[in-house]
């Protein structure tokens, strides 16, 4: 079925992204995995090529492009070479922190951070999750107390993407301790600020090149002007922007699953068993047919949701549907494709092996599948 989702302008941009991926990413993937860290070179190269900074205003060095299809192309091209960790790193800058600053920040904040984020010189992270607070942001205990012209931050965060490499962190902290109030605010912290410390680089099941870390705040003092958005409105600020983050995860899920299926079609075409290619076995053809159909149907939903996102009409419920369904599908497809690779699927020299371990987090971060279903279920119940 022919899609008109992408235009010639998108195709031209894809050629730029693909060239960047071939030149700067593909040959470095194994090294990044071994070193458990992505160096700054791909960030700087991406900045020069316009692969990052896509949604940021032109006056701050970005492309000023609100059409999310351009971000989807970046994610598809990274997925094509299995660059899951780099996609996650870019996603924090592009779809979360950078957009928060662009939409909520003061002119001074935008001028201070967005040019560097557009050029790849500034790497960011967002510190929401805590040891006792994951998907339920109301459980956040990190505090920020106003002291004259400063905020004093105390607390700890965990599972923070770009935690080791980031230059700036947006911190969700409790600024109102009144019982029964959400009282969360967002504060910008430069990582060189006294009292800020990085903890362990966490040892994860997958996404080994992605530096995920613990962060600690011990009487960290930042200027009052580092408040991002409105005091006490941190939770609404986060909730209003979660649909974009969830679409970001959903797009990588579909891109990765499609890439894995393509590798598997090639493998089953060339691998022989019982005197014939594996693809000639009915079980293989049925499996491939089922996965291709599910992916095509899912892509159609994501394309429609993306056009709604572009129009400012994507609901939190539809974003939750896109996130849970596409990531669970990615998990199923990757597992099934690994099975079709047989013993070679379990070998890390085949990309399906790394795709398998990297995909497992997709149904957890950005809101677990169970939380996504709860959001959808509550909406259904409220409509009765």
| Catalytic site positions | 245
3-class state of residue 37 by DSSP? coil
Taking each helix axis from N to C end, the angle separating 84-91 and 234-270, rounded to the nearest 10 degrees, works out to 160
Query: How far is the C-alpha of 372 from the C-alpha of 201, rounded, in Å?
Result: 28
DSSP state, residue 155: E
For residue 189, which of 213, 154, 158 has the smallest C-alpha distance?
154
3-class state of residue 125 by DSSP? strand
Taking each helix axis from N to C end, the angle separating 234-270 and 351-359, rounded to the nearest 10 degrees, works out to 150
Query: How far is the C-alpha of 59 from the C-alpha of 61, rounded, in Å?
Result: 6
Question: Residue ranges of the alpha helices (H) in 202-233?
Answer: none
Question: Residue ranges of the alpha helices (H) in the chain?
Answer: 8-20, 29-35, 41-49, 69-80, 84-91, 98-104, 107-119, 234-270, 282-310, 316-340, 351-359, 369-382
């Amino acid at each position: 079925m022919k899609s008109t989702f992408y235009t010639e302008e998108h195709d031209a941009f894809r050629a730029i992204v693909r060239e960047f991926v071939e030149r700067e990413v593909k040959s470095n993937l194994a090294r990044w995995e071994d070193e458990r860290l992505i160096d700054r070179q791909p960030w700087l190269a991406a900045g020069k090529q316009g692969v990052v900074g896509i949604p940021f205003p032109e006056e701050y060095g970005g492309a000023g492009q609100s059409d999310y299809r351009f971000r989807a192309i970046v994610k598809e091209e990274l997925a094509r070479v299995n660059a899951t960790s780099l996609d996650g790193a870019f996603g924090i800058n592009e779809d979360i922190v950078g957009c928060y600053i662009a939409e909520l920040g003061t002119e001074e904040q935008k001028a201070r951070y967005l040019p560097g984020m557009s050029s790849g010189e500034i790497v960011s992270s967002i510190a929401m999750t805590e040891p006792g607070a994951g998907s339920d942001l109301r459980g956040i205990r990190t505090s920020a107390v106003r002291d004259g012209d400063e905020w004093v931050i105390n607390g700890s965060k965990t599972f923070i993407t770009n935690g080791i490499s980031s230059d700036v962190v947006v911190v969700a902290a409790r600024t109102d301790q009144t019982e029964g109030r959400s009282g969360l605010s967002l504060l910008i912290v430069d990582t060189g600020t006294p009292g800020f410390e990085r903890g362990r680089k966490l040892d994860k099941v997958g996404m080994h090149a992605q530096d995920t870390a613990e962060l600690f705040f011990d009487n960290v003092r930042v200027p009052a002007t580092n408040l991002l958005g409105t005091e006490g409105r941190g939770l609404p600020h986060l909730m209003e922007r979660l649909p974009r983050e969830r679409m970001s995860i959903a797009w990588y899920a579909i891109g990765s699953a499609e890439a894995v299926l393509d590798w598997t079609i090639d493998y089953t075409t060339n691998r022989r068993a019982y005197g014939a290619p594996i693809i000639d076995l009915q079980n293989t053809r049925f499996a491939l047919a089922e996965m291709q159909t599910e992916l095509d149907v899912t892509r159609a939903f994501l394309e429609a949701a993306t056009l709604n996102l572009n129009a400012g009409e994507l609901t939190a419920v539809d974003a939750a549907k896109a996130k849970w369904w596409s990531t669970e599908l990615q998990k199923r497809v990757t597992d099934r494709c690994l099975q079709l690779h047989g013993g070679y699927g379990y070998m890390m020299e085949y990309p399906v092996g790394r795709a398998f371990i990297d995909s497992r987090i997709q149904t957890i971060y950005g809101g677990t599948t169970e939380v996504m279903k709860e959001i959808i279920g509550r909406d259904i119940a409220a409509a009765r």
